[in-house]
Amino acid sequence: MSTMTAQTTQVYSIFIRATPEQIWDAITKPEFTAKYFYGSLVEITDDAWVGRFADGSVGVTGRMIEHEPPHRLVHGWRALYDPDTANEDESRVTWEIEGQDGGYSKLTVVHDRLERSPKTAESVAGGWSYVLSGLKTLLETGRPLAG
């Protein structure tokens, strides 16, 4: 991998053969997120987004900023899974879901406000592609990504 400083605004987008509602469920319900989000069980409340590991420990948490099903979810991101990233400022994750022609939807994830969280920026840089690829496979085939 490169030794470049990770980007402070990261944009990831993917076309998925699913409705915006199906994608919304897949990103907000723990029974789905467990299958592609590093085993994390995501819980959403009025004021927080929490990703727990199977043992119940919190991997990532953040404030709930915007919650507009099924098109837009914005929340804070503090990665507690590593002591180095846990001490950094909260960054921000925006999920945008747009319906497209032919039964497809476009999902865009923007992870920004990473200026004061360089270790978090580096930590998530490869992870989002893996997560979104797994989400697409799950929604289109009903199976988690192999391997």
Pick the closer one to other proteins by CB: 56 or 102. Answer: 102
Q: Among the residues of 52-115, which ranges form H helices? A: 83-86
Hey, what are 135's tokens?
């989400």
Q: Phi and psi of 119, rounded to 5°?
A: -70, -35
Pick the closer one to other proteins by CB: 94 or 119. Answer: 94
Pick the closer one to other proteins by CB: 56 or 147. Answer: 147
What lies within 8 Å, CB to CB, of 26 at 6+ separation is 18, 32, 33, 135, 138, 139
Q: What whole-number distance in Å separates Cα of residue 117 and Cα of residue 86? A: 10
Q: Determine, following the binding rule CB under 8 A, whether residue 123 of this chain makes contact with other proteins.
A: no
Which residues are registered as beta bridge partners of 108? 13, 96
Among 64, 90, 92, 108, binds other proteins (CB under 8 A): 108
The sign one gets for the Cα dihedral 75, 128, 140, 143 is negative
Q: What is residue 30's three-state secondary structure? A: helix
Among 82, 84, 130, 143, binds other proteins (CB under 8 A): 130
Pick the closer one to other proteins by CB: 41 or 131. Answer: 131
Query: With CB under 8 A as the contact rule, which of the stretches 5-13, 20-28, 31-39, 60-68 interacts with other proteins?
Result: 5-13
Q: Determine, following the binding rule CB under 8 A, whether residue 104 of this chain makes contact with other proteins.
A: yes
Residues at the interface with other proteins (CB under 8 A): 2, 4, 7, 9-15, 17, 102, 104, 108, 110, 128-130, 132-133, 136-137, 145-147
